[in-house]
A and B are shown apart, each in its own frame.
Chain A
Amino acid sequence: MSQLYELKLRIEEKIKADGLDATEMKGRIGLKSGRLLAFISATTPDDPEAIVKLTQAAKEVLNLDV
C-alpha cells in the first residue's frame, strides 16, 4: 500500500469522523493539492511532491496532522 493511498484513507477517516460533507471536502483538498482523490488507489505509485501537496491540503482543509 502506497503512502499516497494511506494518506487518502486517513483523509476519508477524518472526514467521516468529523461528519463533514465528503464530496465538498474531497473537492477542496483535490483542488488545493491538484490531485483527484478518486484516482488514488492502493497501487498508485508514491510521488514525493504529490504527498507533500496532499498533506498540506489536508492540514489546511481538515486541520489533519499527518
Chain B
Amino acid sequence: MKIRSIQTKVLVALVFCLVLGVGCVIALMQYFTVENSKGLASEAVAGSRKLFAILETREISKMTAVGDALLVNQQVRDAFAAKDRNRLLQVTAPLYPQLKEEGITNWMFHTPEPDMSVFLRLHNPSKFGDHLNRFMDKEVVRTHSIASGNELAKAGFAIRVLRPVYDAKGKLVGYVEFGEELGQFIHTLKNQTGNDFGLLLNKKYINKQYWADSSAVWNRRDNWNDNPQFVIADKTTADDNIIKFQGDLAAVPDEGKVLETYSDGQSHFIRGIFPIRDASGQAVGAMFVLRDISDVYHTMRKTQEILLVVTVLSLVLGIVLLLALLNRFVFKRLNQIIVAATRLVGGDFETEIKIASEDEVGKLEQLFEQFRHIFIDVMKQMTAMQDK
C-alpha cells in the first residue's frame, strides 16, 4: 500500500520510532536486570568467601588463646607429661562443656613424635591410640610451633589449631589440638548474611571410614552415598536443591564462581560456590551459597515497569506534540493553500491566504498570493476579451 500523505508517513515513522524506542528500553532493562543479578551473585559469593575467611581467622585466634590459657594450667601439663590419661581427663573434662559452648567441639592430646598417636579425645574419650597422619601433624612436628587450618580427622572436617606442649623443663611432652567443625560455620554465615549455605567435601580427600565414624560421633546420617563426587558436611536448609553441582570441585576458582540465577515461583535465587582449602592448601571442598534475591528482583522489576511506562508515555506525548506542531505549522497551512487554489480555479477570487510567518510554508503562502493576484488579473482580462 502506497502512503501518499506526508502526515501519515510521519506518523508511521514516529510509531516505528516508538516501537523501536520501547524495544530498546526493554532490552536495556533486561540487560541491566541480568547484569545486576550477576553483580548481586558475585557480591554474595565474594562476601560469603570473605566472611568465611574472617571467621576462620577469628576462630583460629580464639583456639590459640584457649591453648595459651590451658597450658598455663600446671595440672594439665603435669598429667599430660606423666602420660596419665585418666588424670588428664579428670582435669580437662570439666572444661570441655564450656569450650563446646564456644564452638570448640574437638579437643585432643597427641603423644610426641615419632609415635604421634591420639592420647586423649575429650569429645570421644574411649577412642585413643590411633594415628591420624594428617598434614598438620607433620607440619607441627616439622616446625614445633602452632599449625592451623582445615583438616579432616575422625571427628569430621574442622578448622584446627595444633600446638606443642612442653613440661616445666622445656621438654616436649606432646601436642594439644582444638577444632571447630566447619559445618557450624555455615550457621554463623547464615546468621550474619541471611544466605543459605552448604558445605561440600570432595570424596577424593576423605576416608570413607573416617566419614562414617565422624557421622556416628555427631549422630548424623552417613550421607557418603548421596553424591558420587562429594559429601555434604552440613547445610543451612533442609532443601537439597541448594546442592546442585555437576562440575569438578577442584576446578572452582579461588575467588568463587556464580553458578546460576533461577526462579521458583515468585522467589528468585542466585547460587554460587567458593572453594574450601585444607591446611596443605588443597581445594578439598567447596561452600555453596544460595541467596534469595526476590526483594531486590521485585524492586528491580517494579522500577523497570515504572521506567517503561514513563518511557512509553514520554514517547507518546512527544509524538502527539510533534504531530500537533507539524499540523499547526505545516499541514494545516498547506491545506489552506490547496483549498484556496481549488476555489480560485472554481471562480472564487476572494479567498485570501494569510501569511502566518516567514518560514518555508510562509514563503509558499506568499508565492501563492502573488500567483493568485496574477491569476485574477488574467481572468479579468480574458473575461473582458470574451465580452468584446
Place the interface of chain A in its size category.
10 to 19
Q: Are A31 and B341 in contact (CB under 8 A)?
A: yes
Which residues of B have CB within 8 Å of A30? 345-346
Interface of A, secondary structure class, is: helix
Interface of B, secondary structure class, is: helix
B386 in the interface, Cβ–Cβ < 8 Å?
yes
Cα distance A27–B276 when bound, in Å?
92
Q: Are A22 and B346 in contact (CB under 8 A)?
A: yes
Question: Using a CB-CB cutoff of 8 Å, which residues 7-48 of chain A contact chain B?
Answer: 22-28, 30-31, 36-39, 41
B296 in the interface, Cβ–Cβ < 8 Å?
no
B265 in the interface, Cβ–Cβ < 8 Å?
no
Q: Are B346 and A27 in contact (CB under 8 A)?
A: yes
Partner of B342, one of A31, A38, A39: A31
Q: Are B379 and A27 in contact (CB under 8 A)?
A: no
Cα distance A19–B345 when bound, in Å?
19
B134 in the interface, Cβ–Cβ < 8 Å?
no
Partner of B346, one of A25, A39, A41: A25
Q: Are A26 and B345 in contact (CB under 8 A)?
A: yes
Among the interface residues A24, A26, A27, which one has the most CB atoms of the partner chain B within 10 A?
A27
Among the interface residues A25, A31, A41, which one has the most CB atoms of the partner chain B within 10 A?
A31
Which residues of B have CB within 8 Å of A38? 347, 379, 383
Distance to closest chain B CB from A53 (angstroms): 14
Q: Which chain A residue has the least Cβ–Cβ distance from B339?
A: A24
Distance to closest chain B CB from A38 (angstroms): 5
Q: Which chain B residue has the least Cβ–Cβ distance from A27?
A: B346
Q: Are A39 and B386 in contact (CB under 8 A)?
A: yes
Cα distance A23–B344 when bound, in Å?
8
Partner of A27, one of B345, B382, B383, B386: B345
Place the interface of chain B in its size category.
10 to 19
Bitwise interface map of B from 45 to 80 toward A, beta carbon under 8 Å scored 1, else 0: 000000000000000000000000000000000000
Q: Are B346 and A23 in contact (CB under 8 A)?
A: yes
Distance to closest chain B CB from A4 (angstroms): 15
Cα distance A22–B343 when bound, in Å?
9
Q: Are B382 and A39 in contact (CB under 8 A)?
A: yes
Cα distance A38–B386 when bound, in Å?
11
Which residues of A have CB within 8 Å of B386? 39, 41
Q: Are B347 and A24 in contact (CB under 8 A)?
A: no
Q: Are B382 and A23 in contact (CB under 8 A)?
A: no
Which residues of A have CB within 8 Å of B255? none
Q: Are A31 and B382 in contact (CB under 8 A)?
A: no
Cα distance A48–B361 when bound, in Å?
39
Cα distance A22–B342 when bound, in Å?
11
Q: Are B382 and A24 in contact (CB under 8 A)?
A: no
Cα distance A22–B344 when bound, in Å?
12
Distance to closest chain A CB from B235 (angstroms): 84
Which residues of B have CB within 8 Å of A23? 343, 346-348
Cα distance A38–B344 when bound, in Å?
11
Which residues of B have CB within 8 Å of A37? 346-347
Cα distance A31–B342 when bound, in Å?
7
Among the interface residues A25, A37, A38, A39, which one has the most CB atoms of the partner chain B within 10 A?
A38
Q: Which chain B residue has the least Cβ–Cβ distance from A41?
A: B386
- Contact A24:B341 (CB < 8 A) given known A38-B379, A39-B386, A41-B386: no
Q: Which chain A residue has the least Cβ–Cβ distance from B348?
A: A23
Q: Which chain B residue has the least Cβ–Cβ distance from A29?
A: B346
Q: B: which residues have CB within 8 A of A?
A: 339, 341-348, 379, 382-383, 386
Besides the known contacts A26-B346, A27-B346, A31-B342, 11 further A-B residue pairs in the complex with CB atoms under 8 A apart: A24-B339, A24-B343, A26-B345, A27-B341, A27-B342, A28-B346, A30-B346, A31-B341, A36-B345, A37-B346, A38-B379
The 7 closest A-B pairs by CB, nearest first: A27-B346, A27-B342, A26-B346, A23-B346, A27-B345, A30-B345, A23-B348
Supply 22 A–B pairs (Cβ within 8 Å), ascending by A. A22-B346, A23-B343, A23-B347, A23-B348, A24-B346, A26-B345, A26-B347, A27-B343, A27-B344, A27-B345, A27-B346, A27-B348, A30-B346, A31-B341, A31-B345, A37-B346, A37-B347, A38-B347, A38-B383, A39-B382, A39-B386, A41-B386
